[in-house]
């Protein structure tokens, strides 16, 4: 999450590093790219190893991915730059787009390949009708700032340094989803550079199969999106809140037991997550956002406390405008080293004590449940590529790590994930991508996998946009 474990991550493609130094480096076909020619044709900048600025340009958010070194970084200043870069590198070296650089396993920095750095394509324009055109390199902070100034809102993730592209292409869970739906539900059209260098506009009426796939099919599978157009809503008055509970395994179990029916019964104006922190003595917090005044929110929070039977030791409830509410969830912008994974709860867990037991004795570990429901479930499972419409919640498993501790932390995350699987919690969210997830194609896409494969082959038959967990490899 850039990365405050009080709240929830909103990465561009994330997950546990299945084992140290893994994540599946894509094999280089053969570097016969005319880099000098590409540099001359670009209006932006092409950086190669040894060039000033290359080392900073290639690095992603998670320092554990610093060993992934591309052959070049194309800092694209225009759609024409993207097209030239794709055509120059296609079928010669791996190609991947980078927006915010939050891919947990570093897929946007293909070793020996070409990173399409889209961060210069970050303009956000809000039209009088409320529609917003957003460059694919824009961060959530860019988007929320521009929309806040126009008194509009778009549901999205929490981390301000995450790119809008990864969020939207994977579905886009966030703090307003129960009221307004996923980010991808607001997508009107997308401009895409395909593997053969064409620039297409995908919408409900133009390239409809591609448009369907871009709403939840995951980043990096179908081409390089350069611009989005989103429908937005009037910015509402919001209440943000955070409740901290006294630490103990018993208290965390009680809060989880009470939180599940509470959020299930809550009005869709309310979103909340439950962050359970591991250690010798586990602890937990509930944080969230309510579309409405704090007076109404406090009544709902009192109900949570009554259901849990545990009095909070900390309680923070504040009325905020849209941008300041999003800032409340934003966390630190600094690079952070971590190992993470995800699962999806189809229904509330019937074993709260067993879930809490997975965290006991694991300091630095967090298990974060983010509530789905509400407007997310209003859309059919196969109406977009995002399949988890009827699920109860997503689960993040997140642990701080260093290069020295990565192997041990990865094993610990894997043990928690395996424990959740034993409890019947098996599916995953593609934006928290995990190379160790069994049958990951089905886990991420469910009944939409076959159609996604067909779309990927139709628009990229030569697998130019290939990586270890590309749809075509599922």
Q: Given this chain, do its domains 124-234+448-461 and 238-444 carry the same CATH topology?
A: no
Q: How far does Cα 234 stand from its chain's mean position?
A: 24
Tens of pLDDT, residue by residue over 56-74, are 999 999 999 999 999 999 9
Please give the Cα distance from 84 to 81 (Å, whole number): 5
Q: What is the pLDDT of residue 59?
A: 97
Q: How far does Cα 161 stand from its chain's mean position?
A: 11
Q: What is the pLDDT of residue 30?
A: 63
CB of 312 closer than 8 Å to CB of 243: yes
DSSP string of 393-453, one letter each residue: EEEEEEEE--TTTHHHHHHHHHHHHHHHHHTT--B--GGG--TT-TTHHHHHHGGGHHHHH
Please give the Cα distance from 363 to 366 (Å, whole number): 9
The CATH T-level fold of domain 238-444 is Vanillyl-alcohol Oxidase; Chain A, domain 3 (3.40.462)
As a dihedral over the C-alpha atoms of residue 379, residue 384, residue 388, residue 389, rounded to 10 degrees, the angle is 0
Q: What is the pLDDT of residue 304?
A: 98
The alpha-carbon radius of gyration of the chain (Å, integer) is: 21
CB of 271 closer than 8 Å to CB of 239: no
Q: What is the pLDDT of residue 19?
A: 33
Please give the Cα distance from 418 to 440 (Å, whole number): 14
Give the sign of the dihedral formed by CA 310, CA 315, CA 319, CA 321.
negative
CB proximity list for 224: less than 8 A, separation 6 or greater: 82, 86, 95, 97, 116, 118, 136, 192, 193, 465
Tens of pLDDT, residue by residue over 323-372, are 999 999 998 899 999 999 999 999 999 999 999 999 999 999 999 999 99
CB of 355 closer than 8 Å to CB of 421: no
Q: Per the structure block, which two tokens stand in for 396?
A: 């993040």
**CA geometry: angle 237, 241, 244, nearest 5 deg:** 180
Instruction: List the one residue out of 340, 456, 448 whose CA is nearest residue 399.
Output: 340
DSSP string of 42-109, one letter each residue: -SSEEE-TTSTTHHHHH--SSGGGTT---SEEEE-SSHHHHHHHHHHHTTTS-EEEESS---TT-TTS
- In the predicted model, residues of the chain with pLDDT beneath 70 are 1-30
Spell out the domain ranges in the chain.
124-234+448-461, 238-444
Distances (CA, A) of 273 to 5, 197, 336, 367: 11, 42, 22, 10
Query: How would you classify the pairing of strands 95-98 and 114-117?
Result: parallel
Distances (CA, A) of 21 to 59, 64, 79, 99, 288: 15, 8, 33, 23, 35
The CATH T-level fold of domain 124-234+448-461 is 3.30.465
């Amino acid at each position: 999450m850039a990365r405050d474990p009080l709240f929830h991550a909103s990465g561009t493609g994330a997950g546990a590093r299945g084992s140290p130094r893994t994540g599946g480096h894509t094999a280089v076909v053969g570097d016969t790219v005319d880099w000098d020619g590409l540099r001359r044709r670009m209006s932006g900048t092409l950086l190669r190893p040894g060039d000033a600025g290359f080392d900073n340009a290639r690095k992603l958010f998670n320092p554990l991915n610093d060993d992934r070194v591309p052959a070049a970084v194309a800092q694209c200043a225009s759609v024409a730059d993207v097209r030239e870069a794709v055509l120059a590198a296609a079928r010669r070296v791996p190609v991947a787009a980078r927006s915010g650089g939050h891919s947990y396993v570093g897929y946007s920095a293909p070793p020996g390949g070409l990173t399409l750095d889209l961060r210069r394509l970050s303009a956000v324009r809000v039209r009088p009708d409320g529609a917003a055109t957003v460059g694919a390199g824009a961060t959530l902070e860019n988007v929320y700032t521009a929309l806040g100034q126009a008194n509009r809102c778009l549901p999205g993730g929490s981390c301000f340094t995450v790119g809008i592209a990864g969020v939207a292409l994977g579905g886009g869970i966030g703090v307003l989803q129960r009221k307004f739906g996923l980010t991808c539900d607001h997508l009107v059209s997308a401009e895409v550079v395909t593997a053969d260098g064409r620039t297409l506009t995908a919408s409900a009426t133009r390239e409809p199969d591609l448009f369907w796939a871009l709403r939840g099919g995951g980043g990096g599978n179908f081409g390089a999106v350069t611009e989005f157009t989103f429908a937005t809503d009037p910015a509402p008055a919001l209440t943000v809140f955070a409740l901290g509970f006294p630490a103990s395994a018993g208290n965390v179990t009680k809060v989880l037991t009470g939180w599940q029916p509470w959020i299930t019964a809550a009005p869709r104006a309310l979103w909340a997550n439950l962050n359970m922190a591991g250690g010798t003595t586990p602890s937990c917090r509930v944080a969230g956002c309510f579309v409405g005044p704090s007076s109404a929110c406090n009544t709902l929070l009192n109900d949570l406390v009554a259901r849990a039977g545990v009095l909070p030791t900390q309680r923070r409830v504040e009325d905020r405008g849209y941008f300041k509410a999003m800032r409340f969830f934003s966390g630190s912008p600094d690079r952070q080293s971590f190992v993470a994974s995800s699962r999806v709860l189809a229904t509330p867990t019937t074993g709260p004590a067993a879930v809490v037991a997975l965290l006991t004795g694991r300091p630095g570990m967090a298990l974060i449940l983010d509530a789905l429901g509400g407007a997310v479930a209003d859309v059919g499972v196969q109406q977009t590529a995002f399949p988890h419409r009827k699920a109860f919640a997503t689960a993040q498993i997140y642990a701080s790590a260093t290069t020295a501790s990565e192997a041990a932390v990865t094993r610990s995350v894997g043990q928690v994930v395996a424990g959740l699987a034993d409890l019947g919690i098996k599916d995953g969210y593609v934006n928290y991508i995990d190379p160790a997830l069994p049958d990951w194609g089905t886990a991420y896409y469910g009944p939409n996998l076959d159609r996604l494969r067909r779309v990927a082959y139709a628009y990229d038959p030569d697998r130019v946009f290939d990586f270890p967990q590309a749809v075509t490899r599922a």
